[in-house]
């Protein structure tokens, strides 16, 4: 799975806000399939094809002197990669859509060998909440390094353009 590649406009050029990159990569690394990050995309590099050339989507990058368009994105992608590689449910698990509604957090679940992950993604410009009572158990949010006690919470807050990976 990929968000952009050598044959299309770079994702950073298509999105109206750079904040959207964070939720895009969160989904790329937690949905079924093998995530692929096109070189330079980890820095938010822009590039668009024209009728005459597609060279802008394949620029030379001097990594010794890179000036990232979105400096925190590389660390976010590294963290997502680490989370995925250390949780087989995200690599091999089945997919079940739990909740989808326009302008509300997307929630989906992955299951594998008795392990479960619930992923909640907030693409909005403001914080939102997710009702976690439906899951009826405690979680550890590996993305935000937080223990979640379902018995003491009715809803879980999700910052804007961010998410939760609940194991």
All residues at 6 or more sequence positions from 104 whose CB lies less than 8 Å from its CB, including other chains: 124, 128
pLDDT at res. 162: 97
Tokens found for residue 100: 């989808």
pLDDT at res. 150: 73
pLDDT at res. 115: 95
Tokens found for residue 145: 């390094």
Beta strands in the chain (DSSP E): 94-99, 106-112, 115-122, 128-131, 139-141, 146-148, 155-158, 162-166
Distance in angstroms between the alpha carbons of the first and the last residue of the chain = 23
71 and 101 Cβ atoms separated by less than 8 Å: no
Q: Compute the mean pLDDT over every residue in the chain, rounded to the nearest whole number.
A: 93
105 and 99 Cβ atoms separated by less than 8 Å: yes
Reported pTM? 0.93
pLDDT in tens, 91-113: 999 999 999 888 889 999 999 99
- Give the confidence band of 136 by pLDDT, cuts at 50, 70, 90: confident
Count CA atoms within 13 Å of residue 128 on its CB side: 21
Share of the chain above pLDDT 70, in %: 100
121 and 26 Cβ atoms separated by less than 8 Å: yes
């Amino acid at each position: 799975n990929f968000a952009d590649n050598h044959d299309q406009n770079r994702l950073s050029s298509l999105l109206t806000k750079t904040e959207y990159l964070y939720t895009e990569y969160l989904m790329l690394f937690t949905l079924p399939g093998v995530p692929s990050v096109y070189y330079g995309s980890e820095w938010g590099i822009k590039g668009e094809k024209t009728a005459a050339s597609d060279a802008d989507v394949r620029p030379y990058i001097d990594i010794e002197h890179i000036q990232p368009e979105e400096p925190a994105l590389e660390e976010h992608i590294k963290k997502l990669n680490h989370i995925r590689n250390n949780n087989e449910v995200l690599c091999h698990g089945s997919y079940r859509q739990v909740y989808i509604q326009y302008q509300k957090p997307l929630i989906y679940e992955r299951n594998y060998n008795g392990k479960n992950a619930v992923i909640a993604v907030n693409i909005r410009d403001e914080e939102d909440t997710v009702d976690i009572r439906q899951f009826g158990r405690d979680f550890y949010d590996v993305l935000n390094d937080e223990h979640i006690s379902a018995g003491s919470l009715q809803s879980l807050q999700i910052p804007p353009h961010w998410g939760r990976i609940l194991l």
